[in-house]
Each structure stands twice: as structure tokens, then as C-alpha cells.
Structure 1
Amino acid sequence: MKGSLKTCAVALLVMFALLVVGCQRQEEAQAPQRVDLIYVEWSSEVASTNVVAAVLQEELGYEVRLTPVSAAAMWQGIAGGDADAMVAAWLPTTHGHYLERLREQVVDLGPNLDGTRIGLVVPTYVEISSIDELNENAERFDGRIIGIDPGAGLMSKTEEVMEAYGLDNLRLMEGSGATMTAALADAINREQWVVVTGWTPHWKFAQWDLKYLEDPQNVYGGDEQIHTIVRQGLEQDMPEVFRFLQNFSWTTDDMQQVMVWNREEGATPYETAKRWVAENPARVQAWLR
């Protein structure tokens, strides 16, 4: 009798253990896969990355982790397989040196947006029109070019510009996209001369009357594109995600709409992205075909 009870107890324990293991495996099977997106905190890339995240989560059911980093860390994150994708590669000029070095370690899915541009930007009331006029007017600009984060391709390209044009009377100030626009706003409110590193699309062009300084030596290059870059192996690991990212593309008007919404009081980038996705179902479905 005792032996039978002991046998039954062991059998029950085994059944319970198998049930627990089975439940754990079922939960693991049902848990959504995670997609890691990496980006630079430019207002344009905040907009595009959150729209991609919203589609992945709201339409396809993936869990998404967003990681803001410097441009160098963004490229290295994809190359090293620490992140799955980015939709923030400005090519061929701004991030060209990163792609040249890491081309064999990443997968370029091509442009997701056409018609971008980088350069030095001033308010329209500033009475010069070309970069080669900056040095002789350095005092009017307080001897400064207001920049963004030091790892940005725009900053390294601006250093090349300063060398090419011999801008010895000016210093390139490091900061962020937010500090750059804050300095620009302050100068405009005071009607002072100011020059900043700029890019299009950006909400500042809708906010103020601005102009690019001409670049006779074409150091900044012409119009650019923003590309989608993914890690090697993503197509095999997450074919649905890969296909969506391959199809993802939109316009400067689309992006600027999201950026403007992000400026509204109380707005958050992800909720704004969900709003854009909800209002553009045909575009989203084209990405998911």
C-alpha cells in the first residue's frame, strides 16, 4: 500500500513538472519577438523610427525596443548585430564614411526618403549668402558655428568644410539638435546673426525664415537620401520584419508632418507616430504587402 502511494506521488510530481515545463514553453512560443531599432536623436530620425516602431508593434505584433545613440554607435550597433535595423543612414555624404568602413558587415536596403540636404544655415535676414563669406564676418557670428552632437556625420563634414574654406576665425560648437535649435531661436528673437549646422527635412524651416549658405566647393555635396540599414541575418531570422523594412519609404512632407505634430504641447513621438499610421492606412498596407 505504501509503495503504491509513493508511486502515485512520484507520478503526480512528474506530471506537475511536465505541466509547468509545457506552460513555460507555450508562454515562450506566444511571447512576441523583439525588434531592436537604433537611431540618432535628430528630429527627423525620431519621427521615422517611431513610425516604423508603431507599424511593427500595432500592425505586426512585435515588441520593439528603441535605443538612441550617437551616429558612430548606431552604425557599429548594426554592424555588430547588437541592433536589428535603423532607418537613419544619410547617404552618400553625411554617413558615407561609416558605410565605407562597415559595408561588408551590414545590409543596405536602399533609400526610405529622397530629397534630404545638409549644410550651414542662417536666418534670411543675415546679409551673406555663401560659406566663403563667413570668415570675414566671424565677429557678427560671435566666432561660432552652432553644431550638434560630436559623433554626427554632419559635424565631421562641417569640420571638412571649415578646413576647405579656411574658417580660422570660427569655432564649431558641439551640442545636440535641441541645443542647436534653442540657440537659433534665441538669436532670431534678438535679431542677431547666427549660423548653425542644418539639415532638411527639419521642423525649423517651417518655424522660421531660414536659408542655406551656398557651398561653392560642394564639400557638403548635393541632395542626399536616407537609407534603411539592417544587420546581417535579419532576412533569415525575421523575414516579415525584413520585408516591411525593405518596403518602407515616405516623403519629406510625411516626415515633416510628424515632426510638426511632435512639437505640439504634450505630444510624445510614439503616440504621434501611431496617429500618422492611423491616418495613412493605404501607405501602411503598401509597406506590409
Structure 2
Amino acid sequence: MKTLGSVIAGGLLLAATFHSQAEDASCATVKLGDPGWSDIAVTNGIASLLLDSLGYKAQTQTLAVPIIFAGLQKGQVDVFLGNWMPAQQSNYDKFVATGAVDKVVENLSGTEYTLAVPTYAFDAGVKTFADLDQHADAFDRKIYGIASGAPANEFIKQMIAADEFGLKDWTLVESSEQAMLVQVGRAVKRERFVAFLGWTPHPMNVQYDMRYLKGGEKYFGESGSVNTLLRKGYSTQCPNVGKLLSNLTFTQDMENAIMDQVLSKQASNADAIKAWLKANPEAVDAWLEGVTTREGGDGLAAVKAQL
């Protein structure tokens, strides 16, 4: 006759066996694409902390956006938390709309992603894309963008090539996000005109008194969102990780708060993330709903133990 203890033990063994069968061994390592942006460093950092706490190994790969999409298609990248829309519409149409890559969830809404100028330039009359060329000399006919290959840079190149807004004799300066912001900081310090790629959420909106230009909606859209993308079939192959990623949504206030701590050098990215999660346990509760550890244990308890 079976004792109650043996029944419970058998049930736990069965659950663990079912869980191990439900996820492929390759799910142990989760490969996240990172284009080198501060906001995606935050969201990837959150995902990594949660995954590591659950017994997985998060592996971040720094790659250009087109390479990330190609990597998702080829199975070389598992997760991309930075599908900014509509800035990445062409990549979305090529890979997601065709079914080559899976969209899981919209993880952030109400974003802005377009050209910006300091408020003193805006007040001087640079309020739209069409106003830029009227002040060309003040801007030295330069627009500062981010890393080569970024969709926003391609939009700017298209505008220049088509002489849109009279920009045919302007130059796009491509660099990293950090290098671009160094140029912005230098210009602001001297109150010189500077046109650059701006977006929210990002601490630049707090660090600089800046305004977004109107008129570029044909290229950048009105307001945007950010999607979580997975390589095709990943949620079926790795359902527990897939559940976590489908739960993982963010807010602009959260991302701005964490990024500000990092960029002001008050904390490392990992420490700023951990501090925010400890202060906002309700977010962790929502993210871990229906999620277990890799071995089938209590996922929420495992994460909170690491905080």
C-alpha cells in the first residue's frame, strides 16, 4: 500500500520528468540579440537576471540590427527585445510578417524615435524637418546618427539621397549611441545647433533640454512601440522561457529610471536593475506568473531569492 509520502514524491518526480521532456536541452542557453543601445541593455539585463535565477544561462550577443534579424531567421539568435516600430518596419515586413521570425508581445508602447534638436534651436525656429536646411550653416549640414546599419540611419540616408527637405548637401555622421551623445553634449555646452537621432525612453530626455521635430512621419511614424521577437518555433521548443518572454513587458518610467542610474554612473547596469526589481516586487510577480525554474521548481521564489 502506497503511503502519502510516496504518492507526493512520485507526483513530484512525474512533474520534473514532464518538465524536462517539455523543453529541449538546447533551451539551457538563451541567446539574446543586443544592438548596443542603452534601453535594450536594460531590458536584456532584466531578462538575463530572471533567466539566470531560473537556472538558465543568458548569453547576450552585440550585433547590428540587420544581423540580429538574420540571426533570428537562421537560429543563431533566440530573442530580440528591441524591435522598435515603425523604425524597423522594413525588417519586420521581411522577417516577421512573412513568418520567418515570431512576434511574441509588444513589450513597450508610446515611444518616440525621430530627429531632435536642443530646445534653444527649436525656439530659434527649427521645429520641423523642413526647417533644418534653413539653418544649414548653424548645423554645419550634419545630422548625428547611431551605428551603421540602424534602420533610422537608413531613413536619414534616403532623405538625403532624395533631397527630401532640401537635405541633399547634408551629411549623416554614423557612430555609436554613446559617441553621438558625446557630440550632443559638446554642442549643448556651447549652445551650438545640433541635429541628432533622439528617442524615448532614454535618459537623454532628462539630461538635455531637447525637442523632437515634426514632419518626418513618412519615415519615422507618429508614435511607436517595441516588440519582443523570437526565432521561429522557439516558444514551442522552450515553452517555459517562452512564457517568461510573453509576460515580460516594460514601462518608460522604469527604463528611464534604470538608465539614468547607469548613465549618471551611480550604479552598474546589473545593480540598477536589481535595485529597481527589489523596489518593485509587483512587476516580478507579474513576469513570473506561470513560469517555473528550468528544473520545474517555484520560479518566483527562485528569482526573489537572488534579489
Q: Which residue of 2 aligns with 1:98?
A: 91
Task: Give the C-alpha shift of residue 51 in structure 1.
Answer: 1.0
Separation in 2, partners of 1:265, 1:136: 38
Please state if 1:131 is matched with 2:129.
yes
Counterpart code for 1:117: E
Point out the structure with max Rg over C-alpha. Answer: 1
Counterpart code for 2:188: I
Matches within 5 A, 1:124-163: 124-126=119-121, 127=124, 128-162=126-160, 163=162
Separation in 1, partners of 2:213, 2:221: 13
Report the RMSD for the aligned CA atoms in angstroms. 1.9
Q: Is the 8 A contact 1:123 1:208 kept in 2?
A: yes
Counterpart code for 2:259: M
| Alpha-carbon spacing, 1:125–1:86, altered in 2? closer, same or farther (3 Å) | same
Range with greater deviation from structure 2 (97-106 or 185-194): 97-106
Identity rate of aligned residues, in percent? 27
Q: Which residue of 2 aligns with 1:256?
A: 256
What TM-score, normalized to structure 1?
0.85
Please state if 1:46 is matched with 2:31.
no
Q: Which residue of 2 aligns with 1:288?
A: 288
Q: What is the aligned residue count?
A: 259
Separation in 1, partners of 2:61, 2:170: 34
What TM-score, normalized to structure 2?
0.80
Task: Give the C-alpha shift of residue 266 in structure 1.
Answer: 6.2
Range with greater deviation from structure 2 (230-239 or 259-268): 259-268
Please state if 1:67 is matched with 2:67.
no
Q: Which residue of 2 aligns with 1:177?
A: 177
Q: Is the 8 A contact 1:54 1:277 kept in 2?
A: no
5+ long unaligned stretches in structure 2: 1-23, 290-307
Q: Which residue of 1 aligns with 2:14?
A: none
Task: Give the C-alpha shift of residue 110 in structure 1.
Answer: 2.4
5+ long unaligned stretches in structure 1: 1-28
Q: Could you list the per-position Cα deviations for residues 16-49 of structure 1 after superposition, in whole angstroms to 9, with x for gaps in the alignment?
A: xxxxxxxxxxxxx999911111111111111111
Q: Could you list the per-position Cα deviations for residues 73-129 of structure 1 after superposition, in whole angstroms to 9, with x for gaps in the alignment?
A: 1111111111111110012x2111111111221100121000111111110001121
| Alpha-carbon spacing, 1:248–1:96, altered in 2? closer, same or farther (3 Å) | same
Q: Is the 8 A contact 2:114 2:216 kept in 1?
A: no
Matches within 5 A, 1:1-289: 33-58=28-53, 60-91=54-85, 93-103=86-96, 104-126=99-121, 127=124, 128-162=126-160, 163=162, 164-215=164-215, 218-265=218-265, 267-289=267-289
Task: Give the C-alpha shift of residue 166 in structure 1.
Answer: 3.0
